[in-house]
Amino acid sequence: MLHHAPYRLRNVIPLVLVGCLAFLLVPLTMTAVASAQESPESATLDDYPLDSVSREVKPTGRVKCPKVELVRYRGDVIRYHKPVKVFVGFKDRLKKFEKVVEEVAIEVYGRAPRRIRHIGTYNCRRIGGYPTFISEHGLGNGIDIAGFDFGRLPRGEELPEGVSKRLKRSFKVRMLKHWDGKGRNAIHSRFLKTLARRLIARDDIFRVLLGPSYPGHKDHFHFDCSPWRIVEVFEADER
């Protein structure tokens, strides 16, 4: 699974030159990198406990990830389908994320999902294709979100105006199937894209937000709190 590189500057360096210039970009320091896509130019990064932790590792051999305080977290506002293992400070960001999910889901479907489906949190490894940097997953500082599971509409509750009555039943929303959903699935696309835009607009939850516009992320969002800002979720005609 491919994940972001800290020095990826899409739309700043022509893609055709990336391969040739990669060796020049590696030494860049781990400073905040403003996204060339959705992030406001004036965006600044708040203090975060892992900002000073080095992400650099030897390009070969067994990866040794920095020791950080990891916790097992099930979800407070909305539960994850199975507990996540994350850095203790990242847990607070996940709580904020869950609140945004709840807010958007109630707007679109009239209730929050029962479960958030993830496909990875802590995993001590390098970034795919960038052997001198560990993934934020190696710090328990990232999560991959594949979708959401909704239960039946609670008795006595009403669907938002215009929503099909079929959505009173339980259903699942998945990135791969519904991001560009049409027809009866258009509402799920609206939910996912509204959620993404709401998260991008926040500067106190995630710093890196990757989605379908980033290679290898058609089936999930990747969110983390790297010491830089990168947002690559929407294609150019969707921004």
- Containing 42, the helix (H) or strand (E) segment is none
**Whole-number pLDDT of residue 36:** 39
- Mean pLDDT on 50-56: 97
Pairing of strands 115-120, 79-80: parallel
| Residue 62: φ, ψ to 5° | -70, 135
pLDDT tens digits, one per residue of 192-236: 999 999 999 999 999 999 999 999 999 999 999 999 999 999 998
* Average pLDDT in the chain: 86
Q: How far apart are CA 149 and CA 172, in angstroms?
A: 5
Please say if the pLDDT value at position 179 is more than 60.
Answer: yes
pLDDT tens digits, one per residue of 100-133: 999 999 999 999 999 999 999 999 999 988 999 9
- Mean pLDDT on 154-162: 96
Amino acid at position 92, single letter = D
Give percent above pLDDT 70 in the chain: 82
**Whole-number pLDDT of residue 38:** 46
Local confidence band at 144 (pLDDT 50, 70, 90 cut-offs): very high
The 8-class DSSP code of residue 59 comes to S
Bigger pLDDT: 55 vs 26: 55
- Mean pLDDT on 171-183: 98
Amino acid at position 225, single letter = C
**Whole-number pLDDT of residue 45:** 79
Q: Which alpha helices (H) appear in the chain, and where do they start and end?
A: 15-25, 88-109, 175-178, 186-201
CB-neighbour burial class of residue 180 (10 A; exposed 0-12, middle 13-18, buried 19+): middle
Q: How far apart are CA 151 and CA 5, in angstroms?
A: 37
- Mean pLDDT on 44-68: 93
**Whole-number pLDDT of residue 5:** 52
Contact predicate 37/126, CB 8 Å: no
The 8-class DSSP code of residue 56 comes to B
pLDDT tens digits, one per residue of 4-50: 555 343 433 333 323 332 333 333 333 333 333 444 433 567 899 99
Give the residue extent of every domain in the chain: 15-238
Contact predicate 238/224, CB 8 Å: no
What is the crossing angle of helices 88-109 and 186-201, to 10°? 140
Look up the pTM and report it: 0.84
